[in-house]
Structure 1
Amino acid sequence: MEKGVLDMLTIVKRKHIAKKGAAFVQQTIKQKRDTI
């Protein structure tokens, strides 16, 4: 594996995880608002 390719894969993975995390947080906030 070339270093450039590995770096790109890492960046893509991080972006994917960040998107998942943001979606999870938004869902949690929505649920909290519904219960209040």
Structure 2
Amino acid sequence: MRSLVLSGYLLQLECNIEGWMKEASAWRKVRRKDF
């Protein structure tokens, strides 16, 4: 049971990191347009 919760947590963390990467690249694009 504990391993199931842990794997679910890691999967969620992976998704969050993926989202942050996309957000960061989007921010870089916006910054490039500004300057």
**Common topology (TM > 0.5):** yes
**Where does structure 1 differ by over 3 angstroms across 4 or more consecutive aligned residues?**
none
Q: Number of residue pairs matched?
A: 35
Structure 2 equivalent of residue 19 of structure 1: 18
After superposition, the CA RMSD in angstroms is 0.4
State the TM-score, normalizing by the size of structure 1.
0.91
| Percent identity for Structure 1 against Structure 2 | 6
State the TM-score, normalizing by the size of structure 2.
0.93
Gaps of 5+ in 2: none
